[in-house]
């Protein structure tokens, strides 16, 4: 009977043992092939065999694939990292892990609207530039980054702490499904494993090791992002941070990272440059190309108003003062510019596109 | 609550700090806003109280109050969402005009041009009302461009059927204030933007 089960099944059995963490699992599998390691640990009883068969069947039923270090699909990024996980669980397409350059977008679970907007924008821009966005599928920045990255280009990569049998946090179950369909979700935890606290730092380490560059969008002083950053530093992965207001608590962590030498992220180009420094084959758009995106010609009638707008949002009162237009004329002009894709309303403020 | 509203029949009811009112109190305003009366039903019968009033309300866009100022809001998304949940979308929908009020800059405070006097504004309003009264109840006449703008907004789902009626009425008033016979695209756009001000509160 033992001949019928693949190595992965025994590795799952070992990973599910309550006293086996990632480091123990690695040393067990370094010493022996999985069936032997399992037999040494659990005995050669038929109950133990049945347990392995049952767990293997459960993973197959859930569509969870298992990667061990000698698998061809096991990503080189992990193989070359400080502590390559002995086992990797995937839902979705595991080839995504090795295909494209990867950038982690991470940050606080309680972001400001600024952080949400920047995370979604960077997610979309990176994905459209052919970069897979790696994130933890947590609430806040993680979720926003993947919301932006889905359906825009390169397949997304979700890295989670618990087993892949259930979406966590529940509020993100739709996002889980999308990431799984378009890309892949990975974890070091087998299905059915309890989500103990220690699994979160393990996840952060895996997330860092799967990324070519790590970018922190918003982080509080002493926030959880620093664990991922430390793991990335240990692996020699470049760190970027999005600057924020010195008065915003959610930017204290990121501003401190910038002071410590993280590179400044003001747009997708900064990240693409860091990727090319890290050796990724990536095309950096020139300034002209970036400006040339999808704006129609400015109608003659609205030229003065268009000149008064800037990428920095302005209130209607300000615009009325600058242009000297009657309020109705101003509103009509903005409406027509918005229709031409040249201006947009951001919560009562107007900016040039 | 009836006691609060009765005196303002045919008057102005001003609610400051709208976000601090109990949700039930605000929702109970929906009937008088729609019908101009408050109906109280008891075993002995139903009493109807006149309650036709103009509702004016003020609130901060978020708990820290900085949300109207460029990028200065320090509230978390959760805090903002909790604050906004106090004002339901249907209630907000009853407002024809939502105006974001921004903080004046130092230079605006120091060397501002004298504002239009209240007497002048009153005269303009009286003139506009006269125009409206002399025209009588009839459908406003819109330019083709104005109609196109409205139908595009309807098609894009940015304007509801209820919203269309309100926007058209506000646009007609804006045209009256500008002494225009026909409602043009600028008037309609202004009415749309005054309605879109709601996005500051609900976004």
Among B75, B76, B101, most A C-beta atoms within 10 A, so best to mutate, is B76
Is it the case that residue B70 has pLDDT exceeding 80? no
Task: Look up residue A29 and give its two tokens.
Answer: 């599998």
- Pairing mode, strands A213-216 and B45-50: unpaired
pLDDT of the residue at A293: 43
91-150 in B: which are within 8 Å (CB) of A? Answer: 100, 102, 149
What number of other Cβ atoms are within 10 A of residue B200's Cβ?
A: 20
The CATH number assigned to the domain with range A96-285 reads 3.40.50.450
Cβ-Cβ contacts under 8 Å for A335 (sequence gap 6 or more): B149, B185, B189, B192, B193
Please, is A310 exposed, middle or buried when counting C-beta atoms within 10 Å of its C-beta (0-12, 13-18, 19+)?
exposed
The ipTM value here is: 0.74
Min distance A113 CA to chain B CA atoms (Å): 6
Q: CATH: 3.30.230.10, 3.40.50.300, 3.20.20.70, 1.10.8.60. Which one for B109-202?
A: 1.10.8.60
Distance between first and last Cα of chain A = 65
Cβ within 8 Å, pair A332-B68: no
Residue of chain B nearest A251, judged by CA positions: B74
B63 touches chain A (CB under 8 A): no
Question: Within a 13 Å sphere around the CA of A2, how many CA atoms are in the beta-carbon half?
Answer: 14
Cβ within 8 Å, pair B196-A345: yes
Of residues A127 and B88, the one with the higher pLDDT is A127
Cβ within 8 Å, pair B185-A335: yes
Fold exhibited by the domain A294-352: Arc Repressor Mutant, subunit A (1.10.10)
Domain boundaries, chain A: 2-92, 96-285, 294-352
The owner of tokens 């470049």 is A238
Distance separating alpha carbons of residues A258 and A265, to the nearest angstrom: 10
What number of other Cβ atoms are within 10 A of residue B193's Cβ?
A: 23
Average pLDDT over residues B51-65: 83
Contacts of A339 in chain B (CB under 8 A): 152
Q: Which pLDDT tens digit goes with each residue over B115-161?
A: 788 999 999 999 999 998 888 778 888 999 899 889 888 877 778 88
Q: Give the one of A110, A317, A335 whose C-beta lies nearest to B149's C-beta.
A: A335
pTM across the whole model: 0.60
Among A348, A349, A351, most B C-beta atoms within 10 A, so best to mutate, is A348
Q: Residue A277: in which H helix or E strand, if any?
A: helix A268-277
Average pLDDT over residues B21-49: 84
Cβ within 8 Å, pair B185-A336: yes
DSSP A297-332: PPPGGGHHHHHH--SS-EEHHHHHHHH---HHHHHH
Distance separating alpha carbons of residues A24 and A246, to the nearest angstrom: 43
Pairs of CB atoms within 8 A across A/B: 78
Fold exhibited by the domain B2-95: Rossmann fold (3.40.50)
Domain boundaries, chain B: 2-95, 109-202
pLDDT in tens, chain A (353 residues): 445 789 999 999 999 998 899 999 999 999 999 999 999 988 888 888 899 999 999 999 999 999 999 999 999 999 999 999 999 999 999 999 998 999 999 999 999 888 988 998 899 889 989 999 999 999 999 999 998 898 778 999 999 999 999 998 888 998 999 999 999 999 999 998 888 899 999 999 999 999 999 999 999 998 889 999 999 999 999 999 999 999 999 999 999 999 999 999 999 999 999 999 988 888 776 655 554 444 556 777 888 898 888 877 788 888 888 888 888 889 999 988 888 778 887 767 788 87
């Amino acid at each position: 009977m033992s001949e019928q089960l693949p190595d992965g099944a025994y590795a799952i059995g070992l990973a599910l043992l309550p006293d086996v963490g990632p480091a123990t699992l690695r040393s067990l599998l370094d010493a022996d092939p999985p069936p032997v390691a399992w037999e040494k640990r659990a005995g050669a009883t038929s109950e133990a065999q049945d347990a392995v068969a049952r767990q293997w069947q459960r993973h197959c039923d859930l569509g969870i694939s298992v990667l061990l270090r000698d698998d061809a699909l096991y990503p080189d990024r992990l193989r070359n990292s400080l502590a390559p996980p002995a086992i990797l669980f995937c839902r979705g397409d595991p080839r995504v892990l090795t295909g494209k350059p990867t950038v982690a977008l991470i940050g606080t679970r309680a972001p400001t609207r600024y952080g949400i907007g920047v995370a979604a924008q960077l997610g979309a821009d990176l994905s459209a530039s052919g970069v897979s966005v790696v994130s933890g599928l947590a609430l806040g920045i993680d979720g926003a980054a993947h919301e932006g990255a889905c359906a825009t280009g390169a397949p997304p990569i979700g890295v989670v702490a618990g087993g892949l049998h259930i979406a966590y946090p529940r509020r993100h179950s739709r996002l889980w499904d999308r990431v799984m369909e378009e890309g892949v979700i990975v974890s070091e935890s087998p299905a059915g494993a309890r989500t103990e606290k220690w699994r979160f730092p393990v996840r952060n380490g895996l997330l860092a090791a799967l990324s070519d560059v790590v970018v922190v969008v918003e982080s509080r002083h002493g926030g959880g992002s620093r664990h991922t950053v430390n793991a990335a530093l240990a692996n020699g992965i470049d760190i970027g941070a999005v600057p924020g207001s010195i008065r915003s608590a959610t930017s204290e962590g990121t501003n401190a990272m910038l002071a410590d030498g993280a590179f400044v992220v003001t747009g997708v180009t900064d990240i693409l440059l860091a990727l090319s420094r890290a050796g990724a084959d990536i095309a950096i758009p020139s300034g002209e190309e970036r400006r040339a995106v999808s704006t129609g010609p400015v109608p003659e009638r609205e030229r003065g108003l268009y000149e008064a707008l800037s990428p920095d949002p302005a209130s209607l009162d300000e615009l009325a003062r600058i242009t000297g237009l009657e309020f109705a004329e101003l509103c009509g002009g903005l409406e027509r510019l918005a229709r031409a894709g040249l201006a947009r309303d951001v919560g009562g403020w107007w900016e040039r596109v | 609550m009836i006691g609060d509203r009765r005196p303002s029949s045919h008057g102005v009811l001003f609610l400051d700090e709208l976000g601090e009112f109990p949700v039930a109190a605000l929702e109970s305003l929906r009937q008088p806003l729609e019908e101009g009366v408050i109906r109280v039903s008891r075993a002995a019968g139903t009493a109807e109280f006149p309650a036709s009033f103009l509702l004016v309300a003020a609130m901060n866009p978020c708990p820290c109050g900085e949300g109207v100022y460029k990028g200065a809001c320090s509230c978390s998304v959760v805090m903002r969402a909790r604050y906004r949940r106090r004002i339901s979308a249907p209630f907000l929908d009853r407002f024809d005009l939502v105006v974001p009020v921004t903080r004046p800059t130092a230079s605006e405070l120091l060397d501002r041009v004298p504002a239009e006097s209240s007497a002048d504004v009153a005269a303009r309003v009286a003139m506009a009302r006269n125009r409206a009264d002399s025209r009588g109840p009839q459908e406003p006449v819109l330019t083709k461009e104005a109609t196109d703008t409205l139908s595009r907004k309807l098609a894009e789902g940015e304007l509801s059927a209820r919203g269309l009626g309100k926007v058209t009425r506000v646009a007609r008033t804006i045209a009256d204030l500008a002494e225009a016979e026909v409602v043009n695209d600028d008037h309609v756009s202004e009415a749309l933007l005054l309605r879109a001000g709601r996005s500051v509160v609900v976004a």
